[in-house]
Chains A and B, each alone.
Chain A
Amino acid sequence: MLHTYSLAELSQGLEKGDFTSVALTQHYLERIKQHQEMLNCYISVCEESALAQAAAADTTRARGAATPLTGIPIAQKDLLCTAGVKTSCGSKMLDNFIAPYDAAVIERCNAAGMVMLGKTNMDEFAMGSSNENSFHGPVMNPWDIERVPGGSSGGSAAAVAARLTPCATGTDTGGSIRQPAALTGITGLKPTYGRISRYGLIAYASSLDQAGPMTQTAEDAALLLNILAGHDPRDSTCMSNPVPDYQATLNQSIKGLTIGIPEEYFTAELNSQIGDTLQVAIKELQKLGANIKPIRLPNTHLGVPVYYVIAPAEASSNLSRYDGVRYGYRCENPKDLLDLYKRTRAEGFGEEVKRRILIGTYVLSAGYYDAYYIKAQKIRRLIRNDFIEAFKEVDVILGPTSPTTAFKLGEKTTDPISMYLSDIYTINVNLAGLPGLSLPAGFVDGLPVGMQLIGKDFDEATLLKVAHQYQQVSHWHREIPNMFKGAK
């Protein structure tokens, strides 16, 4: 059953000639046909171009020019621009938008010979934690289709969890890779800010956005990060730090590694069963030789309010370009310019996007800028300093990814604040620019629990190593929801 293979296994199978990329791609396209209607995790499925890419990959491999990921299918989040394929960003505003160019992430996947199965569903403009804010409708969680998969990369998470793709990309501004990864039982990595080019990634909050891999295993994430990471002169914030071979260090022992457990991450806000589940996982890591050390991150509670100043501020400006003038949605029969702007934006954006544009416009306004935006930037620095201090004593920080397991569709849609609090453990990592990884650590009432590892700047290798070592002694990442285990 090809869909149970990890990337590493698929890579070996292709190399040995056990199956072709065309067969593999057909297998996944079949599964998508079978399950897409129930899960709604894809916005576009690219059957024809995927099969063409697969055939080309097989030729490349026959020529002996294959890379480890040549011929392996991938699903791309619908906010990464793809030449010739619609990039809607989950919005009515861009539902007719076909980019004339590929995002850097797409270019790199293409260069590696990967096969794009399609574009995945997401919260509109990546704003949301449940994938219920999509113009294309909500995505269902494969573990319980009455529940959300998390967001904003909910389509990618559900597609990987249901094995409708062997891997996917997500983007993470406040937890949008890690939280859905946690809620669907997969592995998701948000790299250090500046590790992967943002060129062609439709901006939500530019100082926080970062793309990353969403996979079954840490090893798969390492394989994908190997091709995605690296400098791009088209993104001024993309760093030129050397890119290590993330796969090469996975099998190193974690003996002697110090893992910090922040007191602030294990409080009453955390579902106690999740807390218990993580304690078991921590014991496993201890058995592997890691030292566990309690730490403090005293400004943790300020993260959500700071995020909801900075991210909307940037978003209010980033989303100004959607004005109905050059591309995207335009209202019918505008009577004048102001009417064109007002109705295009009123009709083209969903509720949550409009809420954040309003918040952002407010906090940047004359008279409020210092009190909100400047103050938020100062606290952002304090939050980062907390981590810097902690990393003087520990190598990795461990905590929950999300305070709850997957919640029911509609449960939080009327209460934005409770929705925002889904990201209390992930948001600070974006504010600090650090890498964070979520991996499956068990189940509570049949729903996956995510464990978050936070690393030093550009130290993805250590996160991947710890996660991989844990996955050598656990089986959570191998679990597939019953409905999606089948032969097809």
Chain B
Amino acid sequence: MEWEAVIGLEVHAQLATQTKIFSGAATAYGAAPNTQACAVDLGLPGVLPVLNAECVRMAIKFGLSTQSTIAPRSIFARKNYFYPDLPKGYQISQYEHPIVYNGYLDVLLEDDTLKRVGITRAHLEEDAGKSLHESFYNMTGLDFNRAGTALLEIVSEPDLRSAKEAVAYLKALHALVTCLNICDGNMQEGSFRCDANVSVRPKGESRLGTRTETKNVNSFRFVERAINYEIERQIQILESGGSIRQETRLFDSVKNETRPMRSKEEANDYRYFPDPDLLPVMIQQEQIDQVRETMPELPWEKQQRFQQSYGLSRYDANVLTSSQALSDYYEITLQHAGGDAKLVANWVMGDVSAFLNKHGLSIEECPVTALQLAKLLQRILDNTISGKIAKTLFEAMWAGEGDVDTLIEKKGLKQVTDNQAILAIIQQVIQESPQQLADYQAGKERLFGYFVGQVMQKTQGKANPQQVNDLLKKALSK
């Protein structure tokens, strides 16, 4: 039987606010445990939450960018359950009346088609603290620094049909929230976390199968793997006549599998009810209009501009606009290299990306700055060096060996463009290869490449390839 996967994602984007959603405590990551938790965050008796208005502004930004409805009146509710890192015994969230709902995001897939993914809702809520089970013998350590950090939970419609589509959506969402400057997007630090709801059904069936929810998959790669694992697991169960249990599962990135965490039967009854400590969030059209004024150029707007102004393909433009940092890097490089958008695109998406991946770095951490890269590309464009030499130089620059011009000088890599010098080498090669010359002149034109190779070898790659071609052709035809 042919199966179809149905996938919806719930993304927790940590809002990039200076202070927490309901208290004045700071939100910086990595501080010593419990140094950024005030009385409100600790749930001391008598404390009260006060909504951070910045969170509302950020939610409006997200709503505007996804063509969502922005609720004129939304309500905070209490989600009640006991856990040691949940200080109040309830989480303040939004339940029946979220601040943003009914929007969509258009996602470019690998096959260059656009897919519209529905955004069911996005609501504001507070994060819990962290339980640290390691390094406390027979005990659990609690760190409340994260408690009360603002989250925007973004719930998609079950519109996604494969792990690849899910990742494409997740990347587009990531690009959006970082572009909007409402989330730093750091997945390692947990600023952008994803739960995946997955079910399968026979192709053509319109009813949904029983779904599982896989929690906290914290990289694009893991999302793809976890979903694929879950799809395969469910298909196997169904094909062998079994049925799927509705349950929450956890992805184990080491074993590359998902495991049950708790089933629906054991699930909490969260006893949601409106939080009497907080007033309904009222949003006037005027405030929405004010936020609209502050909207940045959105990823897809930028993508179109990249296509139109720089003549890039939709695919290239999409990749280069996947984050603000990357598109900035590209544009700064392009501006300073002076033209040839395609060359710059190839470098940024090619060598730069490959090196970053290899070293596990983000574009912000790239040791070769956009200005340094631009200088390198200038030297290609002004024929000082060849593309091949440039690659060697890039490696040296990455290693911090110096700037382009110094390196060219030091390593003597300046391209040889002097006709006489090149001709002299060509003559030398011809003299040393009488047999090849005879064969070539007898019609074995394939041997042309042999001569080029010999010349380039003798010039250590420094000769201008086009010049070598031209001069060699003349010399051999004599």
For A236, list chain B residues within 8 Å (CB): 48-51, 277-279
Evaluate whether A234 and B269 lie within 8 angstroms (CB atoms) in the complex, with A207-B276, A314-B276, A323-B89 already known: no
With A and B bound together, what is the CA distance between A325 and B84 in angstroms? 6
Closest Cβ neighbor of B45 among chain A residues:
A202
Q: For the complex, is A308 an interface residue (Cβ under 8 Å from B)?
A: no
Q: For the complex, is B283 an interface residue (Cβ under 8 Å from A)?
A: no
With A and B bound together, what is the CA distance between A237 and B43 in angstroms? 18
Closest Cβ neighbor of A364 among chain B residues:
B271
Is the CB–CB distance between B44 and A99 below 8 Å? Answer: yes
Contact of B44 among A89, A100, A320 (CB under 8 A): A100
B38-73 CB mask vs A (1 if < 8 Å, else 0) is 010011111111110000000000000000000000
Shortest Cβ gap from B388 to chain A (Å) = 63
Q: For the complex, is A366 an interface residue (Cβ under 8 Å from B)?
A: yes
Shortest Cβ gap from A363 to chain B (Å) = 9
With A and B bound together, what is the CA distance between A101 and B87 in angstroms? 18
Is the CB–CB distance between B276 and A199 below 8 Å? Answer: no
With A and B bound together, what is the CA distance between A327 and B273 in angstroms? 26
With A and B bound together, what is the CA distance between A337 and B140 in angstroms? 10
Is the CB–CB distance between B43 and A341 below 8 Å? Answer: no
Q: For the complex, is B191 an interface residue (Cβ under 8 Å from A)?
A: no
Contact of A317 among B42, B44, B46, B90 (CB under 8 A): B90
Q: For the complex, is B288 an interface residue (Cβ under 8 Å from A)?
A: no
For B46, list chain A residues within 8 Å (CB): 79-81, 87, 99, 103, 199-203
Evaluate whether A237 and B80 lie within 8 angstroms (CB atoms) in the complex, with A87-B45, A320-B88, A321-B43 already known: no
For B278, list chain A residues within 8 Å (CB): 236
With A and B bound together, what is the CA distance between A207 and B275 in angstroms? 9
For chain A, the count of residues having a C-beta within 8 Å of the partner chain is: 44
Is the CB–CB distance between A317 and B271 below 8 Å? Answer: yes
Evaluate whether A198 and B39 lie within 8 angstroms (CB atoms) in the complex, with A313-B273, A320-B90, A337-B84 already known: no
Is the CB–CB distance between B45 and A99 below 8 Å? Answer: yes
For A314, list chain B residues within 8 Å (CB): 276
Cβ < 8 Å to A, chain B residues 258-315: 269, 271-273, 276-279
Cβ < 8 Å to B, chain A residues 178-228: 198-203, 205-207
A85-97 CB mask vs B (1 if < 8 Å, else 0) is 0010100001001
For chain B, the count of residues having a C-beta within 8 Å of the partner chain is: 28
Contact of A321 among B45, B269, B272 (CB under 8 A): B45
With A and B bound together, what is the CA distance between A205 and B82 in angstroms? 19
For A63, list chain B residues within 8 Å (CB): none
Is the CB–CB distance between A206 and B273 below 8 Å? Answer: no
Contact of A365 among B88, B271, B279 (CB under 8 A): B271
Main secondary structure of the interface of A (DSSP, over half): loop
For B269, list chain A residues within 8 Å (CB): 365-366
Evaluate whether A323 and B271 lie within 8 angstroms (CB atoms) in the complex, with A201-B46, A237-B279, A317-B90 already known: no
- Count chain B CB atoms within 10 A of each CB in A89, A205, A237 and give the residue with the most: A237
For B39, list chain A residues within 8 Å (CB): 100-101
Closest Cβ neighbor of A100 among chain B residues:
B39
Closest Cβ neighbor of A207 among chain B residues:
B276
Q: For the complex, is B78 an interface residue (Cβ under 8 Å from A)?
A: yes
Shortest Cβ gap from B360 to chain A (Å) = 37
For A99, list chain B residues within 8 Å (CB): 44-46
Q: For the complex, is A152 an interface residue (Cβ under 8 Å from B)?
A: no
With A and B bound together, what is the CA distance between A320 and B276 in angstroms? 15
Q: For the complex, is B429 an interface residue (Cβ under 8 Å from A)?
A: no
With A and B bound together, what is the CA distance between A207 and B45 in angstroms? 16
Evaluate whether A94 and B45 lie within 8 angstroms (CB atoms) in the complex, with A100-B39, A236-B51, A320-B90 already known: yes
Evaluate whether A81 and B89 lie within 8 angstroms (CB atoms) in the complex, with A237-B277, A337-B84 already known: no
Q: For the complex, is A428 an interface residue (Cβ under 8 Å from B)?
A: no
With A and B bound together, what is the CA distance between A366 and B276 in angstroms? 19
Q: For the complex, is A64 an interface residue (Cβ under 8 Å from B)?
A: no
With A and B bound together, what is the CA distance between A320 and B43 in angstroms? 10
Shortest Cβ gap from B127 to chain A (Å) = 17
For A237, list chain B residues within 8 Å (CB): 276-277, 279
Evaluate whether A325 and B142 lie within 8 angstroms (CB atoms) in the complex, with A236-B50, A236-B278, A320-B89 already known: yes
With A and B bound together, what is the CA distance between A94 and B45 in angstroms? 9
With A and B bound together, what is the CA distance between A100 and B273 in angstroms? 29
Main secondary structure of the interface of B (DSSP, over half): loop
Is the CB–CB distance between A321 and B89 below 8 Å? Answer: yes
Is the CB–CB distance between B90 and A198 below 8 Å? Answer: no
Evaluate whether A199 and B87 lie within 8 angstroms (CB atoms) in the complex, with A317-B80, A364-B273 already known: no
Cβ < 8 Å to B, chain A residues 64-92: 79-81, 87, 89
For B84, list chain A residues within 8 Å (CB): 323, 325, 337
For B44, list chain A residues within 8 Å (CB): 81, 99-101, 327
Closest Cβ neighbor of A201 among chain B residues:
B46
With A and B bound together, what is the CA distance between A234 and B47 in angstroms? 9
Shortest Cβ gap from B273 to chain A (Å) = 6
Shortest Cβ gap from B293 to chain A (Å) = 27
With A and B bound together, what is the CA distance between A100 and B47 in angstroms? 11
For B42, list chain A residues within 8 Å (CB): 326
Q: For the complex, is A235 an interface residue (Cβ under 8 Å from B)?
A: yes
Shortest Cβ gap from A202 to chain B (Å) = 4
For A201, list chain B residues within 8 Å (CB): 46
Contact of B45 among A97, A317, A323 (CB under 8 A): A97
Q: For the complex, is A233 an interface residue (Cβ under 8 Å from B)?
A: yes
Q: For the complex, is A425 an interface residue (Cβ under 8 Å from B)?
A: no
With A and B bound together, what is the CA distance between A185 and B285 in angstroms? 53
For B89, list chain A residues within 8 Å (CB): 317, 319-321, 323
Is the CB–CB distance between B47 and A199 below 8 Å? Answer: yes
For A101, list chain B residues within 8 Å (CB): 39, 44
- Count chain A CB atoms within 10 A of each CB in B42, B46, B51 and give the residue with the most: B46
For A87, list chain B residues within 8 Å (CB): 45-46
Q: For the complex, is A135 an interface residue (Cβ under 8 Å from B)?
A: no
With A and B bound together, what is the CA distance between A341 and B84 in angstroms? 10
Evaluate whether A321 and B88 lie within 8 angstroms (CB atoms) in the complex, with A200-B46, A234-B48, A326-B43 already known: yes
Is the CB–CB distance between A373 and B142 below 8 Å? Answer: no
With A and B bound together, what is the CA distance between A237 and B39 in angstroms? 19
Closest Cβ neighbor of A377 among chain B residues:
B274
Cβ < 8 Å to B, chain A residues 224-268: 233-237
Closest Cβ neighbor of A91 among chain B residues:
B45
Closest Cβ neighbor of B22 among chain A residues:
A236
Evaluate whether A317 and B78 lie within 8 angstroms (CB atoms) in the complex, with A234-B48, A236-B49 already known: yes
Closest Cβ neighbor of B76 among chain A residues:
A236
With A and B bound together, what is the CA distance between A271 and B273 in angstroms? 38
Is the CB–CB distance between B82 and A235 below 8 Å? Answer: no
Closest Cβ neighbor of A340 among chain B residues:
B84
With A and B bound together, what is the CA distance between A327 and B39 in angstroms? 12
Closest Cβ neighbor of A94 among chain B residues:
B45
Is the CB–CB distance between B87 and A321 below 8 Å? Answer: yes
Q: For the complex, is A405 an interface residue (Cβ under 8 Å from B)?
A: no
Is the CB–CB distance between A81 and B45 below 8 Å? Answer: yes
With A and B bound together, what is the CA distance between A374 and B271 in angstroms? 13
A306-348 CB mask vs B (1 if < 8 Å, else 0) is 0000000110110111010111000000000100010000000
Q: For the complex, is A361 an interface residue (Cβ under 8 Å from B)?
A: yes
Q: For the complex, is A369 an interface residue (Cβ under 8 Å from B)?
A: yes
Evaluate whether A373 and B50 lie within 8 angstroms (CB atoms) in the complex, with A236-B279, A320-B90, A337-B84 already known: no
Closest Cβ neighbor of B80 among chain A residues:
A317
For A337, list chain B residues within 8 Å (CB): 84
For A205, list chain B residues within 8 Å (CB): 276
Starting from the known contacts A87-B45, A206-B277, A235-B48, 11 additional A-B residue pairs (CB-CB under 8 Å) come to A94-B45, A199-B46, A203-B46, A233-B50, A234-B48, A316-B271, A317-B80, A321-B89, A323-B84, A323-B89, A337-B84
A-B contact pairs, 12 of them (CB 8 A): A80-B46, A100-B44, A101-B44, A203-B46, A205-B276, A237-B277, A316-B271, A317-B89, A320-B80, A326-B87, A341-B82, A364-B271
The residues of B with any CB-CB pair to A shorter than 8 Å are 39, 42-51, 78, 80, 82, 84, 87-90, 142, 269, 271-273, 276-279
The residues of A with any CB-CB pair to B shorter than 8 Å are 79-81, 87, 89, 94, 97, 99-101, 103, 198-203, 205-207, 233-237, 313-314, 316-317, 319-321, 323, 325-327, 337, 341, 361, 364-366, 369, 373
